[in-house]
């Protein structure tokens, strides 16, 4: 063997062993001929445990049929044009999802081995699945909200206006049992109801006065309508934030207060608004029943915490972060933080 060939083989072996991707070769019958450290780490097997073992040890019945199909296609057409996803069973019985590229190695013109290069995409798939689930649930929630708005407009506002029109017709013909003053009061009632409804959709106080007054309005509304005391404290020098940041913080606070009232059964809420040189944050604490937080924040939607999942999404869209602390029986503390523009204006 020439020195150049030995050097080439040595370089290949070093690259093979040091690669961060999992690499392994097996013959057409599935016998594993070679594997690197990354493949052992991926599967949980120790050094030498998989060498000469059959690759079917790592595959479910469905996975084996997929591999057989891919191997057949490679034998007929050469290397696969694109990577595919495959599930592997680790030594401890747990499963990982890998993205795998496969090529055929031939000797004397005949198939000798299949070489696979793979990386673990289990976490990526979980994120994608959670995102799909969240989008689906949010779409359902949006549709339910549209129906609620349509129902409220039809059942209350539209019917009230129809009644007023009839009363005006009767008044014009001299047959009304209501005076003009009473009909005017009916119109005012409808206007008040429309204002209340529009305030729920987007309170004008946020646009007119800014974030701090907007949060104080939310606290006062919680106390007025549900009898839950809500204290608001402000530390640091209040800053005027970009409109999208103020709206995001307002909506997250609104959702947190809704959760405290509707789901947590809280009897008291504390809201802290903090401005530092680098960030603005809002902390909402309640004394409600609390809940178990999933190990992965990305799983919030899957356990039915759509409101919290939505808060997290809102915060991330603006480069912020959402932190939740809660246990059953201890209440919930939620903190949302967004970075501040150092050149931004003060109030």
Q: Give the tens place of pLDDT for each residue, 286-303.
A: 999 888 776 666 656 555
Predicted local distance difference test score (pLDDT) of residue 5? 66
Residues 196-240 pLDDT 10s: 777 666 667 777 788 999 999 999 989 998 999 999 999 998 888
**Burial class of residue 42 (count of CB atoms within 10 Å of its CB; 0-12, 13-18, 19+):** buried
Model pLDDT, residue 345: 42
Residues 6 or more apart from 133 whose CB is under 8 A from it?
A: 301, 302
* C-alpha 38: how far from chain center: 30
Give the burial string for 220-239 (b: 16+ CB within 10 Å, else e).
ebbeeeeebebebeeeeebb
The predicted model scores a pTM of 0.50
- Residue 110's alpha-carbon distances to 57, 67, 104, 117, 199, in angstroms, are 25, 19, 10, 21, 75
Distance from C-alpha of 218 to C-alpha of 257, rounded to nearest angstrom: 8
Query: Nearest-CA neighbor of 336 among 319, 328, 289?
Result: 319
Query: Using 50, 70 and 90 to split pLDDT, how confident is the model at 195?
Result: confident
List, in sequence order, every residue forming a beta bridge with 110; answer none if it has no partner.
107
Looking at every residue in the chain, the average pLDDT score rounds to: 82
Distance between CA atoms of residues 345 and 337, nearest Å? 18
Q: Cα 131–133–139 angle (5° rounding)?
A: 100
Selection from 203, 229, 207 nearest residue 217 by Cα: 203
| Spatial separation of the C-alpha atoms in residues 322 and 308, rounded to whole Å | 9
List the structure tokens of 178.
Answer: 């209501």
For the cut 50, the answer to whether the pLDDT of residue 340 exceeds it is yes
Q: What is the pLDDT of residues 110-143, one digit of tens each?
A: 888 888 899 999 888 887 777 777 667 666 766 7
Q: Given this model, what pLDDT does residue 347 score?
A: 38
């Amino acid at each position: 063997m020439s020195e150049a060939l030995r050097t080439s083989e040595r370089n290949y072996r070093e690259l093979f062993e040091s690669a961060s991707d999992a690499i392994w070769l097996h013959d057409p019958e599935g016998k594993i001929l070679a594997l690197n450290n990354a493949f052992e780490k991926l599967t949980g097997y120790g050094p030498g445990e998989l060498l000469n073992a059959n690759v079917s040890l790592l595959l479910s019945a469905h996975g084996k049929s997929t591999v057989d199909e891919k191997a057949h296609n490679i034998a007929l057409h050469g290397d696969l044009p694109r990577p595919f996803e495959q599930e592997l069973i680790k030594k401890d019985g747990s499963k990982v999802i890998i993205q795998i590229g496969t090529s055929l190695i031939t000797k004397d013109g005949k198939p000798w081995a299949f070489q696979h290069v793979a990386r673990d995409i289990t976490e990526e798939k979980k994120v994608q699945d959670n995102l799909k689930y969240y989008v689906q649930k949010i779409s359902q929630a949006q549709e339910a909200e549209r129906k609620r708005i349509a129902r409220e407009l039809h059942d209350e506002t539209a019917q009230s206006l129809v009644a007023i029109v009839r009363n005006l017709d009767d008044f014009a013909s001299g047959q009304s049992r209501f005076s003009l003053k009473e009909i005017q009061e009916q119109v005012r009632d409808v206007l008040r109801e429309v204002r209340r409804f529009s305030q729920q959709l987007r309170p004008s106080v946020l646009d007119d006065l800014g974030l701090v007054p907007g949060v104080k309005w939310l606290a006062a509304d919680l106390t007025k309508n549900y009898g839950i005391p809500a204290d608001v404290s402000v530390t640091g020098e209040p800053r005027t934030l970009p409109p999208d940041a103020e709206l995001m913080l307002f909506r997250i606070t609104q959702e947190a207060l809704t959760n405290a009232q509707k789901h947590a059964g809280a009897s008291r809420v504390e809201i802290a608004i903090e401005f530092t040189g680098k960030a603005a944050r809002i902390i909402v604490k309640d004394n409600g029943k609390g809940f178990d937080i999933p190990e992965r924040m990305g799983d919030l939607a899957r356990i039915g915490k759509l409101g919290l999942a939505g808060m997290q999404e809102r915060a991330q869209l603006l480069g912020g972060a959402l932190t939740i602390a809660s246990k059953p029986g201890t209440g919930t503390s939620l903190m949302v933080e967004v970075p501040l523009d150092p050149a931004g204006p003060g109030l």
